[in-house]
Chains A and B, each alone.
Chain A
Amino acid sequence: MKLDSKIPAGPLAEKWTKHKFNVKLVNPSNKRKHTVIVVGTGLAGASAAATMSELGYMVDAFTYSDSPRRAHSIAAQGGINAAKNYPNDGDSIYRLFYDTIKGGDFRSREANVYRLAEISNQIIDHCVAQGIPFAREYGGYLANRSFGGAQVSRTFYARGQTGQQLLIGAYGALSKEIKAGGVKMHTRTEVVDIVVIGGQARGIIARNLVTGELTRHVADAVVLATGGYSNVFFLSTNAMNCNASAAWRAYKKGAAFANPCYTQIHPTCIPVHGDYQSKLTLMSESLRNDGRIWVPKAKGDKRPANLIPEDERDYYLERKYPSFGNLVPRDLASRNAKMVCDEGRGVGPTGNAVYLDFADAIKRLGRDNIAAKYGNLFEMYNRITDEDPYTTPMMIFPAVHYTMGGLWVDYNLMTSLPGLYAIGEVNFSDHGANRLGASALMQGLADGYFVLPNTINDYLATAKLPKVGTDHPAMAEAETAAKEKIDKLLSIKGHRTVDDFHKELGHLLWEKCGMGRNAKGLKEALEKIPQIRAEFWKNVNVPGSADDLNQALEKANRVADFMEFAELLVRDALNRAESCGGHFREESQTEEGEALRDDENFTYVAAWEFQGLDKEPILHKDELVFEEVHLTQRSYK
């Protein structure tokens, strides 16, 4: 495998414009002769499917949900960034570009990130034209807020439901194209394999989740927009159905997987409260604007918060990072919470929580002001925990939230498998080793509305695409393999449930490859994962049948892939012996305990090539070249 990132030559600010001109176009009357499969209808997939259909391509879109109005994207609360500079506070495309590169700890591609910043403004224009009710000022103009510690206000938002409103906008566009006949929508249909013919991605095998029927679909190109893999940890803030299967199966068919160890752990989530817990709930980052984070100074202090006097509290972020205080970036806030809990100073029934206290803010601004700002979040917290954050400090703890790693793509968003594209969270993306708040929505929509519909023309116009049918032997072979896997899962009839195995795997990852990672623990995990996997294939219990709606089977099929994928994640974490962004290697830290990057040895994207399950994958180093920015060590002291 030879990786070519295909970054266009020329000055940074002109690359995208020039590239669009150099892309070969498909004659308008030929467009409808091309079929493109889009797997996933979250923000990235829905926007891409709708836009390609508007251009004249025939699109087959797939989602496992009952409707494309539902996808994990819907849960995004905070907002979407753009370099509009409406508040006149010094923002620009260049600043958004720089912040994203720096925030990603200098582990992303300059050209891609610049393009993202450039397109950000068009996204807002388009979404406003779609009738998305963004927040507005009294004068009727669009409102912005500062988010995730950014020094400018560049985040557009629709109350606490930005993801919902953007997704409904993209779903509207998709509905319009379904009605117009350009998109054929396959709901309640899960893609279970990618079919490669003559070295090109030419189709998929899908399972109808209601009848269990396996179906074959051919196309000239396949686009994966299937989201991130946070759920490999079992507990995360992702929706329950999020999984890594489509990406993982693409990897096994020849697409390189990049930087799987880059996972983002969000500092402000509601702590785990019992072993029956099914997922974690994010509390918006905006709470850190007014809440103060603390734990008791003494280990094992079990007194209720209000009985711990001021001088026996440790406001550890304010103490360690006096200039940023409670607003340090996500990775720092998370890691420090873990540190104080590991020291035995954590609070709550499990000891795995820290306080987020609004008492001072209420004293300073008044209860009404705080209610106006955070009322809905306080209510959500109360609903889940039955506690009142107005009178008792909230308890929070970090949780897995987003995955920066994903399928390797070039500047055109094509994976290393010709004809297979990856957009949105499923690609290894523009966020480097750490994503800034409000930039995943921006990236998903940039990819889907503006980048892919341009770059895919080039492939469709120039690639040799011999006619293939669903009766092609490669199609039959892939279908048989999918069927055998399903039959195998159903035949084991063991003594443990799918969730039981998923929890075991997730717990191991969280312990050994979570907020802090070291060689010893990672090696232990590398040994343990194949054992769990072997036990899974011997002892899992999947009830029901293959030709019926069977949620346990759906889950088993996904967890089986997590069992394999987890190994690659850990292997990548072991290879990257530096700390960067969300990846903290305990061996690589400064004297003060801060993350220490190793630019000399690790300024590359780690792209892994599959060699078979029992063989080590090959590591390809896709070097990152910085022409525009200087690499600096992040400091928030």
Chain B
Amino acid sequence: MKQKLVVIGAGMASGRMLETIFDAGGNFDVTLFNAEPRGNYNRLMLSPVLSGEKTYAQIVTHDADWYAAHGVDCRFGEPVVKIDRENRVVYSNAGGVPYDALVIATGSAPFIVPVPGKDLPGVVAYRDLEDTNAMISASAPGAKAVVIGGGLLGLEAAAGMAARGAEVTVIHLMGHLMERQLDPAAGYLLQKDLESRGIRIHCKGATKAILGTDRVEAVLLEDGTVYPADLVCMAVGIRPEVRLANDAHLEVGRGITVNDQMRTSDPAIFALGECVEHDKQLFGLVAPLYDQAKVLAATLLGQDVAFRPVQTATKLKVTGVDLFSAADFAEAPGREDIVFRDPGRGVYKRLILEGDRLLGAVMYGDTADGSWFFDLIKQGKDITDLRDTLIFGPAFAGGASANPLAAVAALPPEAEICGCNGVCKGKILTAIEGGANTLDMVRSATKASASCGTCTGLVEQVMALTLGDGFTANANPPMCKCTDHTHEDVRRLIKSMGLKSIPAVMQELGWKTVGGCASCRPALNYYLIADWPTEYADDRQSRFVNERNHGNIQKDGTYSVVPRMWGGVTTPAELRAIADAADRYAVPMVKVTGGQRIDLLGVKKEDLPAIWSDLNAAGMVSGHAYAKGLRTVKTCVGTEFCRFGTQDSTGLGIKLEKLLWGSWTPAKVKLGVSGCPRNCAEATCKDIGVVCVDSGYEISVAGAAGMDVRETEFLCKVTTEAEVMEVIAAFTQLYRENARYLHRIYKWVAKVGLDWCRTQVEDEVIRRALYDRFMLSQSVYQIDPWAEHAAKPADWAPVADLTIRAAE
């Protein structure tokens, strides 16, 4: 007969245990209770959910199909209230379930500071999805949040809410942040970093009371400071959740006492996770819990394995904050420090030594060598020979030259790469040799980087070292949750399978959703437009609002209107027409843009057709300032007026704009043409730039001046305007046909390499073919959307007005 296994708590630890049991072919009738109304998910990842970098769906670790496949009876949202040890039955409010073996995996409960006002609505902890959602909905810009507790959890909560626009204050009892993991110097750098993100930090602050009548209004400190608050998050620590075990009279210390096999004082009852105490030790990070899961799975399968806690290292999961701390760093007699600081870069590294061993490491700002140090600590290696250059990491150990991959290359096979899952470098290497050549495959083979994800970069570096050119980091994520295919796959299959409509792509490539989502539909629409210009019809409903309505939507739902000004040149007549339109439609702001255009901001949707048709009447067309397409060609005055000019940069810019306008591209495209190397048109930070010289035209590409700033790279030099036009049209077409949606030219060039682009446009036959395909597409898409839409103003107004009816 199958054994009845009952598990209380569907958390990180029990999820891993069940997985290990089923993977090993274990045969149990499992009943899984969970107080939360959902199954196992990756609790660590609540922080990226809070900050908006991930969704809940992305952090679910076991879905309904998985439970069904393994015959798990799920009792989610059904807390266990009692264990009857004598009859071996557990009870929820819905009744009893008998067990042969029982696993308690109830995790821990947040500790709530016992101050007045702690029960007011608006006071939350940070433990589960409900807490996370409460913080998300309280984090509107301008809202005020107070986080009590400046440890790992509190800071992730603070950073997440700040990322959503809330004004966040962190109140921390101790003198510096994360005092259990960081020394004061690193704590200071961390504080500075967080303050620069607008988070206020109040150290040495003791909370006296939470104030408010119906809900929280403020937090009062012992020193009299008052911080207004719409939400208070208490993140001051956790307590093992041992109530059930206490009631059942199991042996409980601070946590439920377990032996090396994870067995409690009752031989039929086991426990694991944050609720247990092993050898007087409690646990608060997942790495040791996963080891417990393996041990308990083995115990239940009748194998004899013993749990041995490992040392843990900590990272803070706040995007852009780089800190690492491992093992023991307290000052003590007989201990020595090696410290390295680089104030300019905000880098701090400290190694703690005792005799010839490394005891601990604290690093801030540059943590690349963290796992190398952690490895030295765990191995207890004699570091006498390394000592002189130890702080500079493996790149210098033994005099090797600095190389970005050196740190990882120097790691021995037993070095741990993934702390959460305890995966060492050797295991990853074995998986790669076994054929795992994408991040996902390595993840599923080894679990490396599958939990908190902070080691993803390391795993990719190991892959890069092993696979060489065969591996490009980050090439693997699927397009979106609707499909398992990557953008690259989809683009290739659209062409090779001749797919010419969105439903065709979704059907033939096995989309998992009905109508896609807001992320894949615009991408597919673009790919189809680019690949089948004459056969596919643009699907307006698959466009983002800006492209659908031919204006940039503003935060209040109004739009901006930007007429095209070829090469940035306008006339008095055009300016008058623009001024008239601005008056007629009461445009709240008229602004000159960085791309040498005039922007009319704040136009109501129903006024768009009329303002467009007025501007059309004065000879102007849409400037596509909203488009993933050609935006602007910025020019200087060149030989026409400037005494330094070498060529007619203005004229060339106008010709280029007339050639390229109306084309849709993976992301926006901006050009610049400067008349001489003084570069007044800032051509060398554009997607495509032309700098005129006496002997011709230098074309460079892949610049950026946005979130990333980079200078263009030289593509080629030509001698006539006609050649400039042909090269640029061909290059643009190459980009249109190959890049992934939303990748600017510089991102795409970084992936495919400038050399490849150059060989394509320098080959006369290929270039001509690209140019011809570009012109074919232009024959369809070089149309003024204003003229098209201004003809049907009724489509832009409300379809019915019931305000009149109500007044009757």
Are A and B physically bound partners? no
Interface residues of A (CB under 8 A from B): none
